[in-house]
């Protein structure tokens, strides 16, 4: 749902600040490639997110380049980079966001007694000096500066007021009050925002922001409490991705404000019909599955199995649904897909699920769909999503699985014979291992020598039934770098090989960007 800004008061607008690409990517195992970050940023920009925190430019050359490219490509959103209260961080951030039509520097420092003593070993006076110096330096480089008091909810009230006042005097235009460790209760958080607005000089001239973590499952509740108290920016992430238990989930915050506008009387500029598409995209590129009963975007969010619920919904959807599936990008009606379905029906199904594929990618996906339909009695939406996501993810890969034969059981050694398509050439190898999965991975390692360690191997069923597709997640670690790959097939061994190769392709692509001369062993 796109908003009509000409009939709504701007003072009631809640700015949606998305940190999926920064705080979300810091979640262990959620690292994205350069191309994946651009894809996510493009969709966030399209859906009306106001501010995209694109990364932490000082963290690495890769982070700097992705922030810079996102800044270059953004059409609508403010592009923000994060910086510690250090001159080098701030200068690097300013350089990264320079191509943006609208850029923001977000600088922060820990203000709580724990952070002052154990993380930085500074006293209150030094902390205040650093607040002023960092915000002043950032303001000298851009007009849009956000300052954050890390661990604000465990900071002494008087000292927090002094820090916020110093940041405002130095030129901060947005002041963020993070519940960094997810410690606050919603009443406490709302009271904290009110206290700062009442006690700090100049508080009426800036925007207060929330950034709540979910350690106690209160991130969304605390964020909404902050809005109720007068905060007009919410920092959140798609699917609630983020450090530890995650951040406030963007889709939950947006739909809570949208659905209960009668309570909050505020609005956002987010196109809610793109929420499900964004959720699926972030899930795909991070290989973090969305729980079935996840609010707003979970598979069961609009599913009804209870007879009482089914009866009520058939008579009137409002009996058990407080929002329509269409409002978040889910279609109520669906095509029944099977082996007799043609290209036209398949293309319509892809559109319904939010996919737009080029001709070649469509043909590849259609061939795989027909092959799947031949071995599955029922082809569900989730089957098609898994199939297409894998096709998209592997489109630019240098290595692809061509064929796999596995010998398993109690009667002899487990063997795997695999053929890989590597840089336009076919390579085959047979390996013996401690089980079929080990044999398969040993064969891949023989064809593509590498030192990566297998950190995770996980198998789950895409749908129910003995003919269900297996979805395999593989996580590889090498030189402190993590890459996660996913593969799906009705044959678990084939899905395993595809997942391993997917992760390996990401590691190799990353290495190639760092050392362009890197070549695969043949």
Highest mean pLDDT among 26-40, 196-210, 462-476: 196-210
- Model confidence band, residue 313 (pLDDT cutoffs 50, 70, 90): low
Cβ count within 10 A of residue 2:
11
Overall average pLDDT of the 341-354 stretch: 78
* pLDDT 10s digits, 496-517: 999 999 889 888 877 765 554 4
pLDDT grade for 378, boundaries at 50, 70 and 90: low
The closest of 141, 25, 127 to 85, measured between CA atoms, is 127
What would the pLDDT profile of 424-464 be if each residue is shown by its tens digit? 899 999 999 999 999 999 999 999 999 899 999 999 887 77
Residues paired with 380 in a beta bridge: none
| CB contact at 8 A, 422 and 388 | no
Q: How confident is the model at residue 264 (pLDDT cuts 50, 70, 90)?
A: confident
16 in helix, strand or coil? strand
Averaged confidence pLDDT in the chain: 88
> What SS3 state is found at 144?
coil
pLDDT score for 377: 64
- Evaluated on CA atoms 291, 293, 297, 302, the torsion sign reads positive
> In angstroms, rounded to a whole number, what is the distance separating the alpha carbons of residues 302 and 304?
7
Average pLDDT over residues 93-104: 98
pLDDT above 90: percentage of residues in the chain: 61
With 0-12 / 13-18 / 19 or more C-beta atoms within 10 angstroms meaning exposed / middle / buried, residue 371 is: middle
Q: Could you tell me which residues come within 8 angstroms of residue 29 by beta carbon, excluding any fewer than 6 positions away?
A: 286, 287, 288, 456, 475, 482, 484
Burial of 318 (0-12, 13-18, 19+ CB in 10 A): exposed
Whether 249 contacts 239, CB under 8 Å: yes
On whether the CB atoms of residues 80 and 41 are closer than 8 A, the answer is no
């Amino acid at each position: 749902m796109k908003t009509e800004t000409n009939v709504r008061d701007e003072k009631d607008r809640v700015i949606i600040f998305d940190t999926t690409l920064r705080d979300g990517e810091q979640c262990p195992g959620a690292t994205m490639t350069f191309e994946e970050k651009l894809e996510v940023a493009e969709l966030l920009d399209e859906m009306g997110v106001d501010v995209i925190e694109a990364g932490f430019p000082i963290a690495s050359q890769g982070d700097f380049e992705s922030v810079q490219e996102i800044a270059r490509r953004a059409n609508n959103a403010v592009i923000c980079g994060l910086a510690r209260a250090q001159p080098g961080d701030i200068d690097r951030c300013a350089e990264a966001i320079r191509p943006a039509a609208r850029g923001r520097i977000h600088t922060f420092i820990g203000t709580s007694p724990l952070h002052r003593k154990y993380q930085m070993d500074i006293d209150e006076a030094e902390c205040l000096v650093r607040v002023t110096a960092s915000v002043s330096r950032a303001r000298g480089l851009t007009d849009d500066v956000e300052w954050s008091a890390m661990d604000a909810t465990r900071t002494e009230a008087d000292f927090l007021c002094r820090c916020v006042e110093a940041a405002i005097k130095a030129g901060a235009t947005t002041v963020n009050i993070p519940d960094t460790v997810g410690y606050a209760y919603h009443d406490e958080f709302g009271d904290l925002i009110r206290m700062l607005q009442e006690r700090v000089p100049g508080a009426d001239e800036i925007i207060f922001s929330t950034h709540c973590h979910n350690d106690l499952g209160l991130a969304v509740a605390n964020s909404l409490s902050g809005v109720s108290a007068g905060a007009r920016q919410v920092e959140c992430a798609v699917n609630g991705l983020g450090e530890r238990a995650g951040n406030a989930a963007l889709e939950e915050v947006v739909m809570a404000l949208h659905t209960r506008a009668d309570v909050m009387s505020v609005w956002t500029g987010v196109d809610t019909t793109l929420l499900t598409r964004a959720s699926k995209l972030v899930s795909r590129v991070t290989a973090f599955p969305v729980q079935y009963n996840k609010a707003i975007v979970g598979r069961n969010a609009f599913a009804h199995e209870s007879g009482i619920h089914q009866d009520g919904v058939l008579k009137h959807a409002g009996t058990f649904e407080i929002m329509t599936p269409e409002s978040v990008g889910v279609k109520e009606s669906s095509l029944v897909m099977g082996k007799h379905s043609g290209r036209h029906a398949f293309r319509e199904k892809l559109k319904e699920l939010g996919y737009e594929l080029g001709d070649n990618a469509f043909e590849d996906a259609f061939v795989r769909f027909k092959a799947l339909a031949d071995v599955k009695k029922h082809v569900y939406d989730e089957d098609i999503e898994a199939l297409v996501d894998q096709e998209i993810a592997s489109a630019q890969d240098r290595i692809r699985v061509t064929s796999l034969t596995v010998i398993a059981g109690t009667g002899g050694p487990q063997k795997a014979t695999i053929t890989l398509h590597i840089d336009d050439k076919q390579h085959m190898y047979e390996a013996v291992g401690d089980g079929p999965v080990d044999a398969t991975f040993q064969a891949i390692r023989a064809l593509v020598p590498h030192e990566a360690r297998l950190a995770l191997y996980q198998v789950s069923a895409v749908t129910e039934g003995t003919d269900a597709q297996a979805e395999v997640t593989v996580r590889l670690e090498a030189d402190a770098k993590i890459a996660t790959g996913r593969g799906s097939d009705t044959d678990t061994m084939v899905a395993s090989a595809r997942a391993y190769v997917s992760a390996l392709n990401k590691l190799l692509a990353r290495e190639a960007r760092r050392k362009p001369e890197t070549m695969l062993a043949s």
